[in-house]
Copies of this chain bind each other. A is one copy, B any other.
């Protein structure tokens, strides 16, 4: 199963933004950015409960928009953030989004303040 990934210069910022304008997918990117090797199940477990078929949909959106790369390996499907490509085409975008997501998380969970 080989997936179709857009080339670096086929990536559209509009697609990246709409891909990341979704809580589940933004969380996925945060997980991938944190490092480590991930396959679909490991991300799914980190997120909590989500149907596998639902995640398949999100993988497609992230893949088609050029945010992640999906690499079949044995019976698994390795997931990697396309950081090099994104940084090359949209300098600073990914970092701004990721630190923005951290800002929001800090605002919402103000470290045990009710």
Contact = CB atoms under 8 A, between A and B. Distances in A.
Interface of A: 9, 12-23, 26, 89-93, 95-97, 99-101, 103-104, 107
Contacts of A22: 14, 18
Contact of A93 (B9, B89, B97, B107): B97
A24 to B, nearest CB: 10
Given A21-B18, A21-B21, A13 B89 contact: no
A113 to B, nearest CB: 14
B92 A92 contact: yes
A17 B97 contact: yes
A58 to B, nearest CB: 14
B9 A14 contact: no
Nearest to A102: B13
B21 A101 contact: no
Contacts of A91: 96, 99
A98 to B, nearest CB: 9
Contacts of A95: 92
